[in-house]
């Protein structure tokens, strides 16, 4: 979980601020308040969260909800805030996407992503028709008008230096891998403990918790989506995630191993902001069929519970080896 010290220090580092006194001036938050946060005497209120989030290009609501959760004294209220936080993070990528009105595509070399990875640099210009065209088409058709933008975009993404981008990329890969590993371990333990009926609850609450805790720890947004979703609020991919899943499907059909492929997009979301969007395939394992397999593989008890919790469940009839979905990591890259 990202601490308040971590957040304040991240602002200092990002904006090359050398003291808490200067930080207080920069944020417009009293020096006494900053000292109180540092000494755990108080936590930032909504107004301070807005200021902190702005300095870090984060969604302020995520911070507000995070601190409300920490403030809560009883477990139930804590859990409620945590759930809201998870929902917020899940919706965040799609909200950001809808803000992007135009796309200028370029393959940037600074990320050197694996296999199918694509880097897209886009700008908030009124050119959203481009979204429906292929990258090459949009690049060719708009290069004369948007060459300067594209160049500044590409330069911007290269500016932090290949080493820094590469380390952000590697950290992102590690976060996705940690999410997959923790999910699988938690599920295995729950299945061994009380069987599939019991594991449903664990899957429902633990998966978002793991995503939330990785998100807070690394200041990113972690989520998971399905090719066919069980949870209609959190499991449905947005546009770019659907594109990533489609690419995964065709690569896997072409014989690529899911473990070797990933999807990367870099989008310019503001004058100074680049958003890195990362997806890694989730493949169905034999043990998953107890809840995502064909009707004969799912026990009547599990079916009953799933029907009750997810009346519009689409996440069934998968076979081991099928693409089940993706782990999603989105983050801001400063430049």
- Contact footprint for ligand HEC (CB under 6 A): 184, 187, 196, 199-200, 203-204, 207, 224-226, 229-231, 234-235, 282, 284-285, 287-288, 290-292, 315, 324-325
The residues that bridge with 334 in the sheet, in sequence order, are: 273
Q: For ligand HEC, which is the closer residue by CB, 137 or 304?
A: 304
The residues that bridge with 331 in the sheet, in sequence order, are: 276
The residue whose Cβ lies closest to ligand HEC is: 235
Q: How far is the CB of 178 from ligand HEC (least distance, A)?
A: 15
Q: How far is the CB of 184 from ligand HEC (least distance, A)?
A: 5
Q: How far is the CB of 137 from ligand HEC (least distance, A)?
A: 32
Rounded Cα distance between 188 and 226, Å, is 20
DSSP reduced 3-state for 192: helix
Q: For ligand HEC, which is the closer residue by CB, 85 or 235?
A: 235
Specify the long-range contacts of residues 224-228, CB closer than 8 Å, at least 24 apart: 224/179, 224/183, 224/282, 224/325, 224/326, 224/327, 224/328, 225/325, 225/326, 225/328, 226/314, 226/315, 226/324, 226/325, 227/322, 227/323, 227/324, 227/325, 228/314, 228/315, 228/316
Q: For ligand HEC, which is the closer residue by CB, 70 or 309?
A: 309
Q: How far is the CB of 288 from ligand HEC (least distance, A)?
A: 3
What does each C-alpha distance from 298 to 206, 287, 293 come to in angstroms? 21, 11, 7
Q: How far is the CB of 145 from ligand HEC (least distance, A)?
A: 40
Q: For ligand HEC, which is the closer residue by CB, 100 or 191?
A: 191
Q: For ligand HEC, which is the closer residue by CB, 30 or 232?
A: 232
């Amino acid at each position: 979980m990202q601490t308040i010290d971590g957040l304040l220090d991240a602002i200092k580092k990002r904006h090359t601020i050398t003291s808490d006194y200067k930080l207080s001036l920069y944020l417009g938050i009293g020096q006494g308040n900053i000292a109180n946060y540092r000494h755990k005497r108080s936590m930032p209120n909504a107004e301070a969260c807005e200021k902190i989030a702005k300095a870090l290009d984060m969604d302020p609501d995520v911070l507000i909800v995070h601190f409300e959760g920490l403030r809560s004294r009883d477990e139930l209220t804590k859990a409620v805030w945590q759930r809201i936080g998870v929902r917020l993070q899940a919706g965040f990528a799609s909200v950001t996407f809808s803000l992007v009105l135009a796309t200028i595509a370029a393959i940037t070399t600074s990320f050197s992503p694996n296999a199918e990875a694509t880097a897209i640099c886009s700008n908030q210009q009124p050119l959203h028709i481009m979204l429906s065209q292929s990258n090459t088409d949009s690049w060719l058709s708009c290069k004369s008008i948007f060459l300067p933008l594209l160049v500044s975009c590409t330069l911007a993404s290269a500016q932090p230096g290949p080493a820094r981008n590469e380390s952000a990329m590697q950290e992102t890969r590690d976060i996705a891998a940690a999410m997959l590993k923790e999910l699988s371990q938690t599920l295995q333990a729950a299945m061994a403990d009380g069987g599939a009926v019991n594991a449903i609850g664990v899957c429902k609450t633990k998966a978002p918790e793991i995503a939330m805790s990785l998100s807070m720890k690394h200041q990113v947004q972690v989520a998971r989506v399905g090719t066919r979703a069980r949870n209609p609020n959190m499991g449905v991919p947005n546009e770019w995630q659907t594109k990533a899943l489609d690419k995964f499907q065709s690569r896997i059909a072409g014989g690529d191993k899911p473990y070797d492929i990933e999807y990367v997009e870099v989008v310019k979301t503001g004058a100074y902001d680049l958003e890195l969007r990362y997806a890694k395939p989730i493949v169905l394992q034999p043990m998953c069929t107890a809840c995502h397999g064909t009707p004969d593989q799912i026990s009547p008890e599990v079916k009953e519970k799933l029907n009750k919790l997810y009346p519009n469940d689409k996440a069934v009839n998968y076979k081991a080896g099928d693409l089940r979905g993706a782990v999603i990591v989105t983050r801001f890259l400063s430049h």
